[in-house]
Amino acid sequence: MYTPIILGTGLTGYNYVARTRDEQQEVMQKSPQVNRDTTYFKEKMQTIQTSDELLDDRALLRVALGAFGLDEDVNNRAFLKKILDSDLTDRLSLANRLSDKRYLAFAKAFNFAGETAQTPDTRTGSEVAQALADVESADDLLNDPSLLRATLKNFGLEKDVGNTYFLKQVLESDVTDETSFANRLGDARYAELAEAFGFAQKVNRPDGIYGFAEIFEGRVEDFQTAEDLFDDPEAFAATLSIFGLEDDQYNIDFLTDVLNSDLGDPESVANQQDNPNYVAMTKLFGFFDRAEAVANDWTFDSKLQDYVDVMSTRMDEQIEQPKDLFNDVRLMLATFNLFDLPSRDDRVSFASRILESDRDVPTSLVNSITDPRYQAFYNAFDFTEPPQGRVYPEGFADAIVENYLDRQFEIAAGEADPTMRVALSIERDLSQLLSNSTANDSRWYGVMASKPLREVFETVFQLPSDSFGTLDVERQLEDLKARAERFFGTDKLADFANDDNLKELRRRYLVQKEALNFAPVSSTNVVLSLLSGASAGGGLLGS
């Protein structure tokens, strides 16, 4: 087993490990046993359909348990099966009843009693912000439990985290309509939540070529200039999306020059771009040709109008497989024109092969073709066969392995210095505890149930662990909150997630543990500490 390098003890040792952790953990990951286990987990996990299959594969189970700090339960099959098969919607199920919330996190991740697994959250604050930016529908948010919890917390609505049907109605409410669901609830926070995401305008909007056509149906003449397109956020976003040009959404000056290009001029901006999708987009709207036609009183033939007209005849009979497209010649040609697919002798058969190729196979035609017009053409359709059996979300195995590596590094560090293992896990353990409960007292009870967190707070608050744990739990709760107020100026456990408080909590724990290692505690001191209770003053690290 890999042994981390720890230079010094206490705060000095921790600072060195924290500073070098990424490099040391990378070395650990490459060690033969760890590399073998994690590689196997990533390759095999996607095939696991039931809790029995996971429990029967010891190598998989070792990583799965290790990711949640449950390594010692590897032989406890009957108990683990009850955990994994718990109905998480039932508050009386075993996983929900256990005070040790690692088991609940374990059950939530694999979720064998539910429809799909749920990727454990390993994201930083900036990554969470990016994930929110990528949310495009209510379902996107509701299907990301950790992101949903973080979002609801910002609006003070954590209690609704499990009520997805209710939240979907809220999120898809049109806040401009006084009779909408969110507005009728009488709690302004729900309307604020709906307004923040603005999903109402996107509800029931089909994707791909149908969604694009529906946006412009009956409105083509509203788009006379590039500025008209920019002034309509929905149409603008749909246009960039259909051509795969989303990265240019803020490059308005450039897009203005592209869309106003004279395609008859080889030196025009659109023609000068390496990506032919700029030309395809410019052809579709024909703003330059339209302006010329208006100036000279000519007839303007709108390619966009032609496309919308063709699509309108197929709205009730959508394309479900490639042959549906190629059996309708008018629709096929309109789609080819939309994406400005190049003329070639095998144009139809080649396009068919593109649509029939598999995006998940690196050597497939769609992944091999370099012409971005075919990429956009492929992306406008969804002919992927629905997966059979249990499906794991993208990144599931990677997230489990990442958690596993974190935990194994902490275990290895703990073998050299037990205090170091606790110090390295404080932030994660505290975050998990806070996410599982919203009531302050319940959170403190969670501290009592967590061996590492109990050690941290008992050490920092100078409470004798041998005697304090024998007190009535209500007395323990009272003392913990009182000393938190005295030492940190707050008895709200959530306040310890604040960066400054968290760093100070860890610092005091490390300094106090190091001091205790060199200062034997007399029985008199133990009795005095217990008797002092909530009125205890600073001690070694008083406030």
Alpha-carbon span 141 to 136, nearest angstrom: 8
Asked whether 331 and 314 are in contact (CB, 8 A), the reply is yes
In a domain, 79, yes or no: yes
The whole-chain average pLDDT of the chain stands at 84
Note whether 190 and 289 are same-domain residues.
no
Residues 193, 168: one domain? yes
SS3 87: coil
Are 6 and 413 in contact by the 8 Å Cβ rule? The answer is yes
CATH number of domain containing 40: 1.10.3700.10
Which of 356, 393, 349 is CA-nearest to residue 115? 393
Domain-terminating residue out of 335, 360, 379: 379
**Do residues 93 and 112 share a domain?**
yes
CB 335 within 8 A of CB 284: no
Percent of the chain with pLDDT over 90: 47
415 within a domain of the structure (yes/no): no
The answer to whether residue 527 scores a pLDDT higher than 90 is: no
Alpha-helix residue ranges (DSSP H) falling in 30-70: 32-44, 51-56, 58-66
51 and 36 fall within a common domain: yes
Q: Is there a domain that residue 20 lies in?
A: yes
For residue 388, tell me if it sits in a domain.
no
Query: Which tokens hold the place of 526?
Result: 């133990």
Residue 174 shares a structural domain with residue 241: no
State which residues form the domain around 476.
437-537
Give pTM, 2 decimals. Answer: 0.53
Distance of CA 284 to CAs 280, 325, 376, Å?
Answer: 6, 20, 14
Is pLDDT of 75 > 70?
yes
Give the type of residue at 188: A
Is 267 a domain residue? yes
Query: Three-class SS of residue 514?
Result: helix
Q: What would the pLDDT profile of 274-288 be if each residue is shown by its tens digit?
A: 999 999 999 999 999
Give the length of the chain. Answer: 543
* End-of-domain residue from the set 149, 171, 202: 202
pLDDT at 167: 85
Q: Are 86 and 136 in a shared domain? A: no
24 and 109, same domain (yes or no): yes
Q: For 103-132, b where at least 16 C-beta lie within 10 A, e where not — what string?
A: bbbbbbbbbbbeeebbbbbbbeeeebeebb
Is 5 contained in some domain? Answer: no
The segment with the largest mean pLDDT, out of 192-201, 336-345, 383-392, 492-501, is: 336-345
**Shared domain check, 213 and 189:** no
One domain, residues 215 and 178: no
- Do 298 and 338 lie in one domain? The reply is no
Alpha helices by DSSP H, listed for 372-417, are: 372-379, 396-416
Are 174 and 142 contained in the same domain? yes
184-221 burial: b if 16+ Cβ within 10 Å, else e: eeeeebbbebbeebebbeeeeeebebbbbbbbbeeebe
Q: Are the C-beta atoms of residues 194 and 173 closer than 8 Å to each other?
A: yes
Whether 421 is covered by a domain: the verdict is no
The per-residue pLDDT for range 374-429, each reduced to its tens digit, is: 999 998 886 766 556 676 777 788 888 999 999 999 999 999 899 999 999 998 88
Amino acid at 535: S
Question: Considering the domain boundaries, does residue 428 fall inside one?
Answer: no
Among candidate residues 117, 147, 166, the one where a domain is terminated: 117
| Domains of the chain: total | 5
For residues 96 and 15, membership in a common domain is answered with yes
